[in-house]
Amino acid sequence: MIDDDLVRAHRNNIQRYHLLLQTTLTEFERQYVERRLSEEQSKLDKLTTRAQTANRLQTTQARTPDEAHGFAVNAAAEKFVRAAAQLRIPGRDN
Protein backbone atom coordinates (compact mmCIF):
# COMPACT_ATOMS: atom_id res chain seq x y z
CA MET A 1 0.00 0.00 0.00
CA ILE A 2 1.06 3.58 -0.55
CA ASP A 3 1.91 5.57 2.53
CA ASP A 4 -0.48 8.51 2.14
CA ASP A 5 1.68 10.84 4.22
CA LEU A 6 4.74 10.11 2.10
CA VAL A 7 2.81 10.66 -1.13
CA ARG A 8 1.41 13.91 0.24
CA ALA A 9 4.89 15.09 1.25
CA HIS A 10 6.28 14.43 -2.24
CA ARG A 11 3.29 16.13 -3.88
CA ASN A 12 3.68 19.16 -1.60
CA ASN A 13 7.39 19.40 -2.39
CA ILE A 14 6.69 19.13 -6.12
CA GLN A 15 4.10 21.90 -5.87
CA ARG A 16 6.50 24.13 -3.93
CA TYR A 17 9.23 23.64 -6.52
CA HIS A 18 6.80 24.50 -9.34
CA LEU A 19 5.85 27.69 -7.52
CA LEU A 20 9.51 28.56 -6.97
CA LEU A 21 10.19 28.15 -10.68
CA GLN A 22 7.61 30.84 -11.36
CA THR A 23 9.68 33.38 -9.41
CA THR A 24 12.83 35.27 -10.34
CA LEU A 25 15.81 32.99 -9.72
CA THR A 26 19.47 33.04 -10.61
CA GLU A 27 20.57 30.39 -13.08
CA PHE A 28 22.23 28.45 -10.25
CA GLU A 29 19.05 28.58 -8.13
CA ARG A 30 16.89 27.55 -11.08
CA GLN A 31 19.14 24.55 -11.81
CA TYR A 32 18.99 23.49 -8.18
CA VAL A 33 15.18 23.75 -8.01
CA GLU A 34 14.78 21.90 -11.31
CA ARG A 35 17.06 19.12 -10.07
CA ARG A 36 15.14 18.82 -6.79
CA LEU A 37 11.84 18.82 -8.69
CA SER A 38 13.09 15.98 -10.87
CA GLU A 39 14.26 14.03 -7.83
CA GLU A 40 10.93 14.46 -6.02
CA GLN A 41 8.95 13.41 -9.10
CA SER A 42 11.18 10.36 -9.50
CA LYS A 43 10.68 9.36 -5.85
CA LEU A 44 6.92 9.76 -6.18
CA ASP A 45 6.87 7.71 -9.39
CA LYS A 46 8.90 4.91 -7.78
CA LEU A 47 6.66 4.90 -4.74
CA THR A 48 3.45 4.65 -6.74
CA THR A 49 4.91 2.14 -9.22
CA ARG A 50 6.03 -0.10 -6.38
CA ALA A 51 2.54 0.00 -4.88
CA GLN A 52 0.94 -0.84 -8.23
CA THR A 53 3.29 -3.78 -8.73
CA ALA A 54 2.46 -5.10 -5.27
CA ASN A 55 -1.25 -4.81 -6.04
CA ARG A 56 -0.84 -6.71 -9.30
CA LEU A 57 1.02 -9.49 -7.51
CA GLN A 58 -1.69 -9.71 -4.86
CA THR A 59 -4.41 -9.84 -7.52
CA THR A 60 -2.74 -12.78 -9.25
CA GLN A 61 -2.38 -14.58 -5.91
CA ALA A 62 -6.00 -14.15 -4.81
CA ARG A 63 -7.61 -17.30 -3.46
CA THR A 64 -11.25 -16.35 -4.09
CA PRO A 65 -13.16 -14.12 -6.53
CA ASP A 66 -14.11 -11.79 -3.66
CA GLU A 67 -10.49 -11.47 -2.64
CA ALA A 68 -9.49 -10.74 -6.24
CA HIS A 69 -12.21 -8.09 -6.44
CA GLY A 70 -10.87 -6.45 -3.28
CA PHE A 71 -7.37 -6.37 -4.72
CA ALA A 72 -8.71 -4.91 -7.97
CA VAL A 73 -10.51 -2.15 -6.06
CA ASN A 74 -7.29 -1.37 -4.18
CA ALA A 75 -5.36 -1.27 -7.45
CA ALA A 76 -7.90 1.15 -8.92
CA ALA A 77 -7.59 3.35 -5.83
CA GLU A 78 -3.79 3.32 -6.14
CA LYS A 79 -4.09 4.29 -9.81
CA PHE A 80 -6.35 7.18 -8.85
CA VAL A 81 -3.88 8.34 -6.19
CA ARG A 82 -1.07 8.26 -8.71
CA ALA A 83 -3.09 10.25 -11.24
CA ALA A 84 -3.99 12.79 -8.55
CA ALA A 85 -0.34 13.03 -7.56
CA GLN A 86 0.51 13.98 -11.14
CA LEU A 87 -1.82 16.99 -11.06
CA ARG A 88 -0.02 20.26 -10.69
CA ILE A 89 -2.42 23.04 -9.88
CA PRO A 90 -0.67 26.41 -9.40
CA GLY A 91 -1.65 28.17 -6.20
CA ARG A 92 -3.06 25.02 -4.61
CA ASP A 93 -1.24 23.18 -1.85
CA ASN A 94 -1.35 19.58 -3.11
pTM: 0.54
- Mean pLDDT confidence for 45-73: 64
Radius of gyration (C-alpha) of the chain in whole angstroms: 17
- Ordered by start, the domain boundaries in the chain are 4-86
Reported confidence tier of residue 33, pLDDT bands at 50, 70, 90:
very high
37 band by pLDDT with thresholds 50, 70 and 90: very high
What is the DSSP secondary-structure string of 23-82?
S---HHHHHHHHHHHHHHHHHHHHHHHHHHHHHHHHHHT-SSHHHHHHHHHHHHHHHHHH
